Amino acid sequence: MHGLTSLNRLYIKECSNLKSLSEGISNLSSLTHLTLDGCHKLASLPEGIGNLSSLGHLTLRRCDELKTLPRGLHGLTSLYELDIEQCSNIESLSEGIANLSSLTKLVIKNCHKLASLPQGMHGLTSLSELDVGGCPSLKSLPEGIGNLSSLEYLYLSGTSLPQWLHGLTSLKKLSIDGCSSLESLPEEIAQLSTLEWFTLSRCDKLATLPQDLHLLTSLYYLSIRECPLLSQTIKKNRYGLCSKLARIPTAYLDGKRIHAHWHLQILTGCI
């Protein structure tokens, strides 16, 4: 790879017998995009990958034998997007990820053995979008995520929110899906003054919402689907929840618009 110093994009796909990459990849000084997709036998990445100071976009997808990431990832000083999907055997992510100060988007999906994220993720000072889902071994997120002041979009599927969210001062969109063990939401959600869009789906044990959620002046869209206990709470107007949610400009429960007298119509059989 010594003669490829001008190469800026490298896509390696469906190389099912590829077991390793050459350390010479560190010589690709102009590389901005690297995608490894369908390299099912790739067991590790070279440490030299951390020397790619121009790399902006790294995608790892369907690399089934990959168990961890190189420690030197903190050297990727230009990386703005990291996408890790369907790497079924990956067990941990390098702590170096927490030092990627240019990273704006992090996607981690369908990594079945991933049990934890780096504790130092509060160091991702530029992160604006975080999408984590389909990782059944990942039961919770590091508390430091609650201090990501640049985060605007947070999508979670199958994992719970950290309890401390006061630092998410830029959050606009929050989506929580398939968190079957989630019983309550942090009251701090009601303090996210920039939140505009909030969706909840398939949270079987969730029975109520933060009491002051309706006071979020920026919140204009709320959708709740397939949350049976929460649905009953709203329909019976427990804690005045139905009346409160009706104050949100656009609020839906299982596809039906919530309005101020909805619970009364339900009781009289009008819905």
178 has which bridge partners? Answer: none
Answer yes or no: are the C-beta atoms of 242 and 220 closer than 8 Å. Answer: no
- Residue 83's φ and ψ, nearest 5 degrees, are -125, 115
Q: Reply yes or no on whether the pLDDT at 27 is more than 70.
A: yes
- 8 A C-beta contact, residue 90 and residue 84: yes
In the chain, alpha helices (H): 228-235, 241-245, 262-267
Residue 206 has pLDDT above 90, yes or no: yes
Per-domain residue ranges of the chain:
9-267
Model confidence over 158-197: pLDDT tens digits? 887 777 788 899 999 999 999 888 888 988 898 899 999 9
- pTM for the whole structure: 0.90
Q: What CATH class has 9-267? A: alpha beta
pLDDT, position 259: 75
- 213 or 60: whose pLDDT is higher? 60
pLDDT, average across residues 110-114: 94
pLDDT at 146: 87
pLDDT of 225 over the 60 cut: yes
Is it the case that residue 114 has pLDDT exceeding 90? yes
